[in-house]
Chain A
Amino acid sequence: SQQGEEDPQALSIQEGENATMNCSYKTSINNLQWYRQNSGRGLVHLILIRSNEREKHSGRLRVTLDTSKKSSSLLITASRAADTASYFCATDRGGGADGLTFGKGTHLIIQP
């Protein structure tokens, strides 16, 4: 079954604005990760937040995690045209199993 569900599926904003994407998941997790994919290419790891963390920052990225609601959000501040990409949340598969379960992704378009 699909673990993560991103919301919204597509988002278009003006350059300089903030972009917020949300992710929900179904099972208990050890951590949650966010990845970026440009034009159907390989994925770039953005940030990892552990289940005992509530918020994490990396440059213009801010991730929150609410394990009680089984949800996470990714905020990109001061967006740039180069941020145009698809963003996926992914969770570990639990039980010590490696590999990831991905959400459906949010396609972000930054209008110049």
Chain B
Amino acid sequence: SAVISQKPSRDICQRGTSLTIQCQVDSQVTMMFWYRQQPGQSLTLIATANQGSEATYESGFVIDKFPISRPNLTFSTLTVSNMSPEDSSIYLCSVGGWVVGYTFGSGTRLTVV
């Protein structure tokens, strides 16, 4: 299965600023997924990123708040923009498919103060 390198692993940010999270995969993949895990909660899919097209966002998530880039088949970034304390969460990227299962990055623990 694919190996994902996600960074940063954690960050503490001031409200109103933005943070960009990077995920690098060791093989080419068609789709990459971004999830949010709020404190003590489960994971929620933010968006699906395909190379060469705009990301597809789930209900409740918008591009202005969570812009995603997918410049090639092994790399993607998620930016959390204009942060507020409510954005404090763990953000995870993932690759795979429903047939074989998914691999996840190690997560980015974001704290907004």
Interface residues of A (CB under 8 A from B): 2, 4, 30-31, 33, 35, 40-45, 48, 88, 90, 92-93, 98-105
Contact = CB atoms under 8 A, between A and B. Distances in A.
Contacts of B43: 43, 88, 90, 100, 102
B37 to A, nearest CB: 8
A43 B104 contact: yes
Contacts of B70: none
A98 B107 contact: no
> B1, B31, B37: which has the most chain A beta carbons within 10 Å?
B37
Contact of B42 (A30, A41, A88): A88
B42 A40 contact: no
A45 B101 contact: yes
Contacts of B106: 41-42
B74 interface: no
B106 to A, nearest CB: 4
B48 interface: yes
A98 B44 contact: no
B49 to A, nearest CB: 11
A29 B105 CA distance: 25
Given A41-B106, A88-B43, A98 B90 contact: no
A22 B104 CA distance: 23
A-B pairs with lowest CB-CB distance, top 7: A92-B98, A42-B106, A43-B104, A102-B42, A102-B43, A42-B104, A45-B101
A98 B42 contact: no
27 contacts: A2-B42, A4-B42, A30-B98, A31-B98, A35-B104, A40-B37, A40-B109, A41-B107, A42-B4, A42-B105, A43-B43, A43-B92, A45-B101, A45-B104, A48-B100, A88-B42, A88-B43, A98-B33, A98-B48, A98-B98, A99-B33, A100-B43, A100-B98, A102-B42, A103-B42, A104-B42, A105-B42
A61 to B, nearest CB: 14
A35 B109 CA distance: 19
